[in-house]
């Protein structure tokens, strides 16, 4: 008989996290360390545990892939859940980063295995062999950087700023406004981390940005971002790299898709994030962790383009349902605002994870599984064999699924 499996999920503690946002969502008491990410899924680094059977979701999926995933998903991805669902809570900027494309992930992971690097080794850049496109949907106002601005816009932002590094970047972009010129300019900023004189030079430019902002800069949003990042990471050239990137604000319910290879950094806010099941992060700056310059430049895309929203479809009457789709096969998201007068239907097949964001909800499956009651912060894994899903009650939930 199919079952619905309540999940116990891992909270990851990183210095950019929030001491209150996740605790409020989960209904827990804030701890001493910042809560940054809640992981829901079967990635080997931190798989969810299945309440009752006393095993991980990774083990459960591997034990019966056809029943858990459905034949279609199991045939395409093997005995593995192809997505990882997270709730991300940021009070400070995350690292400036990029995620690898499939061929680069496989090559990098195999290379580091041949080098004898153990799982979890801080010298590793590739923790698995999977690419990592991702999508985030804002639960509060959500701030970030995503993709490269048009070179002309970057040159306008750099105009009049003091400092050797920005002068070099300006010259490289002025000489070549193609993606090759963007690559050269960004490479100069990343490589500057190795120069002992960089912190002082960055401070000179940050002072010029502060003066421009105080004088009523027309680029006030970009300038304020530089000052925020410089305060959080003094001397890091990543604060200046923000001038090369699109500045993004998402209102609650708005989404952003980041294909593998897109340079980005989240700055603040609470959001639901879904991605291919990978933990591969190649960092460029705004971090104390390893910066793998060679792998980063190999994987990054330098084609200027505006931020890419997912395709969104709204449905429902009294209960509002929004579905977010990205141009990848591993994942999709459905956010449901459930009204007591009207049940909500969720995706009917494949492996699904449902997380209650607020209220009290009941998850009912078509094929005989006992219904699951979800309060704020509770979650459940729904196997393919459980069939079609229905949400009832009053509250707000998110469902991750495979399209």
Annotated domain spans of the chain: 5-145+249-299, 147-245, 311-401
Q: What's the rounded Cα separation, in Å, for the pair 136 and 148? A: 18
Report pTM.
0.95
- Give the per-residue pLDDT at 184: 98
Q: Decide whether 5-145+249-299 matches 311-401 in CATH topology.
A: yes
Confirm if 398 and 38 have CB atoms less than 8 A apart.
no
Cα 83 to chain centroid, rounded: 12
- Give the per-residue pLDDT at 230: 98
Confirm if 144 and 246 have CB atoms less than 8 A apart.
no
- Give the per-residue pLDDT at 54: 77
Confirm if 268 and 142 have CB atoms less than 8 A apart.
yes
* Superfamily per CATH, domain 5-145+249-299: Jelly Rolls (2.60.120.10)
Q: Give me the phi and psi of 108, to 5 degrees please.
A: -65, -40
Confirm if 229 and 238 have CB atoms less than 8 A apart.
yes
- Give the per-residue pLDDT at 317: 79
- Residue 88's DSSP bridge partners are 37, 271
Question: For the chain, how many helices (H) and strands (E)?
Answer: 12, 21
Q: Give me the phi and psi of 56, to 5 degrees please.
A: -85, 160
The catalytic site residues sit at 283
* 10-residue averages of pLDDT along the chain (403 residues): 94 95 91 95 96 88 97 97 98 96 94 94 92 97 98 97 98 98 98 96 98 94 98 97 98 98 98 97 92 92 97 88 97 97 94 98 94 97 97 97 97
CATH fold label, 311-401: Jelly Rolls (2.60.120)
């Amino acid at each position: 008989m199919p079952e619905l499996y309540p999940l116990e999920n891992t909270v990851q503690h990183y210095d950019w996290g929030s001491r209150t946002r996740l605790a409020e969502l989960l209904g827990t008491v804030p701890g001493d360390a910042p809560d940054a990410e809640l992981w829901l899924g079967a990635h080997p680094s931190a798989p969810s545990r299945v309440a009752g059977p006393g095993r991980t979701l990774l083990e459960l999926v591997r034990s019966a892939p056809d029943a858990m995933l459905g034949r279609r998903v199991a045939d395409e991805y093997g005995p593995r859940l192809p997505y990882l669902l997270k709730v991300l809570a940021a009070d400070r900027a995350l690292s400036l980063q990029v995620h690898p494309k499939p061929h680069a992930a496989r090559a990098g992971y195999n290379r580091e295995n041949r080098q004898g690097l153990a799982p979890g080794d801080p010298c590793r850049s590739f923790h698995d062999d999977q690419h990592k496109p991702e999508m985030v949907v804002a639960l509060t106002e959500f701030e970030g950087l995503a993709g490269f601005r048009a070179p002309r816009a970057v040159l306008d932002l750099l105009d009049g700023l003091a400092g050797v590094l920005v002068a070099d970047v300006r010259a490289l972009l002025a000489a070549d406004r193609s993606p090759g010129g963007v690559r050269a300019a960004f490479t100069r900023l990343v490589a500057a981390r190795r120069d002992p004189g960089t912190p002082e030079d960055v401070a000179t430019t940050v002072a010029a940005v502060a003066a421009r902002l105080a004088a009523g800069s027309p680029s006030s949003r970009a300038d304020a971002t530089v000052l925020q990042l410089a305060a959080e990471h003094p001397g890091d050239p990543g604060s200046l790299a923000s001038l090369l990137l699109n500045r993004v604000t998402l209102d609650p319910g708005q989404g952003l898709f980041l294909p593998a290879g897109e340079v980005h950094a989240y700055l603040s806010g609470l959001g639901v994030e879904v991605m291919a099941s990978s933990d591969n992060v190649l960092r460029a700056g705004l971090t104390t962790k390893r910066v793998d310059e060679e792998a980063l430049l190999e994987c990054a895309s330098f084609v200027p383009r505006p931020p890419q929203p997912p395709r969104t479809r709204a449905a429902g009457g009294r209960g509002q349902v929004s579905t977010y789709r990205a141009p990848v096969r591993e994942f999709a998201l459905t956010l449901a605002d459930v009204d007591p007068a009207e049940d909500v239907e969720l995706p009917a097949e494949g492996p699904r994870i449902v997380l209650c964001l607020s209220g009290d909800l009941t998850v009912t499956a078509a094929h005989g599984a006992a219904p699951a009651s979800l309060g704020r912060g509770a979650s459940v894994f729904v196997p393919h064999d459980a069939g079609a899903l229905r949400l009832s009650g009053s509250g707000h939930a998110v469902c991750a699924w495979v399209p």
